[in-house]
Amino acid sequence: MYDEDGRITIACKSRAKLMISFHINNGVKNLNGLEIYSPSKSNLDFAKDMANKIKEYSSINYSNNNSFKKADGVYVRNFTKSVIKDFENTANRKGYEPYNISLDTPYLYTIREVGGIATGAYVDGRNKLYSKNEYYNSNQGIESYQIELGYFKNDLNIIQNEKENYIRGIVEAIENNF
């Protein structure tokens, strides 16, 4: 992720304005639908517009997942107290100083680590399991969103058969907002 050819480094080197990371949730059998994860300190209008446009042009529904939900199809996932404590315990057990993580720190690394100081990027090499994110302390961040296109178990046919509709919705939202 953070090596010279890792996706975080490549994204940060690009100096892009916007990064959208596409995923498919594995999930449990009772969950389905579209989820767009947004940076915690951002205006949610773009994420809302993307969710609305994707839903308008495809047959995917907004997710029925209520964890971290901020609006229909829009989510903000930050670290929780218990996860912060787990990270601190891991750092202490492995002998490195714990990272500076707060309840405002985005949990999803594709959002956090390309945002530099704006999103609280923290992978600075102290945990030897990961190489250093050279851009962790940068004021040159990328506005990043993670789109969970749907759930593998329940939405795969929609995702496979309606790719162009997803793209149309995303493109229109970008044109509307940038």
Number of residues that make up the chain:
178
What gap in Å lies between CA 146 and CA 39, rounded to an integer? Answer: 9
Q: Which residues contact 157 (CB under 8 A, 6 or more apart)?
A: none
pLDDT at position 133 is: 93
User: The sheet that has 35-37: what strands, in order across it?
Assistant: 18-25, 143-151, 35-37, 74-75, 69-71
pLDDT at position 65 is: 96
Q: Where are the domains of the chain?
A: 7-177
**CATH fold group of domain 7-177:** Aminopeptidase (3.40.630)
Tokens encoding 100: 């500076």
Do the beta carbons of residue 68 and residue 75 sit within 8 Å? Answer: yes
Averaged pLDDT, groups of 10, the chain, 178 residues long: 86 94 89 96 96 98 97 98 97 95 95 94 91 92 96 96 98 97
pLDDT at position 3 is: 81
> In terms of Cα–Cα distance, which of 115, 49, 103, 56 is closest to 76?
103
Tokens encoding 81: 């107290």
Structure pTM? Answer: 0.93
Q: Which residues contact 39 (CB under 8 A, 6 or more apart)?
A: 76, 106, 111, 115, 118, 119, 143, 144, 145
pLDDT at position 91 is: 96
What gap in Å lies between CA 150 and CA 158, rounded to an integer? Answer: 8
pLDDT at position 62 is: 98
pLDDT at position 33 is: 98
